[in-house]
Homo-oligomer: A and B are copies of this chain.
Amino acid sequence: MPVDREQRLWDWERTAQPYLLAASLLFLTSYTVRVLVPDLSPGWQTWWELVTLVTWGFFLVEYLARLAFSNDRRHFLRTRWLDLIVTVLPLLRPLRIVDMHERMQRRRDHPRLVLEARVMAYTAITSLLLGFAASLAVYHDERTAPGANIHTFGDAVWWACSTLTTTGYGDATPVTPRGRVVAVALMFVGVALVGAVVGSFSSWLLRRFRQDGET
């Protein structure tokens, strides 16, 4: 029965969530260590590379298993397209956690937070994690590039903040092609961040007006 299988997929996703969360934290840690501590001893280097590979493999296997066992693969691919992206680019996995949490909340009858508070919380977490991931990725590419003006991880974080808020000082900007691709992605995340803040605010204002009007 399809409904049954959908339910089992759903149960599986709920059960697997903590393990996937642990795996993505491990992945993030291994990537962070490898970028921020470049002069590791060869043993540790190998160890952290292994962690990166194993966690990535785990994501891949988990995604393919779910795809294989789903009774309607097209529907799975269409509704879980975010899963495919975060499987290929595990640094974006934070997005998946937010999405999963949101879907769980929607299933309950009474979510603990109103919609705007949830939107703001998700926006804050997403910005923080994507900003951190982008800082790491850009620092990784830029630190040895000729003519770069991002020399320390602090510079990279500074650049990420100025990009996320669409301020764009321009005193620290990536110069390598890969760094610029990350930067363009972060700029659009920044536009979305502004959109979420503004949208929540105007929605909250309008709802308060309606409440005032009703009493």
List chain A positions with a Cβ less than 8 A from chain B: 115-116, 119, 154, 158, 161-163, 165-171, 173, 177, 180, 183-184, 187-188, 190-209, 212
Contact = CB atoms under 8 A, between A and B. Distances in A.
B205 A187 contact: no
27 contacts: A115-B205, A115-B212, A154-B177, A154-B180, A158-B184, A162-B168, A165-B187, A165-B188, A166-B166, A166-B191, A167-B190, A168-B168, A168-B169, A170-B170, A170-B171, A191-B193, A192-B201, A194-B194, A194-B198, A195-B198, A195-B201, A196-B201, A198-B199, A198-B201, A199-B204, A200-B205, A202-B202
Contact of A165 (B119, B170, B171, B191): B191
A158 B170 contact: no
Given A158-B180, A191-B193, A208 B167 contact: no
Most buried by B among A116, A171, A183, A212: A171
Given A194-B198, A195-B197, A198-B202, 9 more contacts: A115-B208, A154-B180, A161-B184, A169-B170, A192-B201, A194-B197, A195-B201, A203-B209, A206-B207
- Kindly report how many copies of this chain are found in the complex they form together: 4
Nearest to A180: B158
Contact of A205 (B116, B166, B209): B116
Given A161-B184, A167-B168, A201-B196, A209 B209 contact: no
Contacts of A119: 205
A127 to B, nearest CB: 9
Contact of A192 (B173, B190, B197, B206): B197
B199 A205 contact: yes
Contacts of A203: 202, 205-206, 209
A205 B123 CA distance: 14
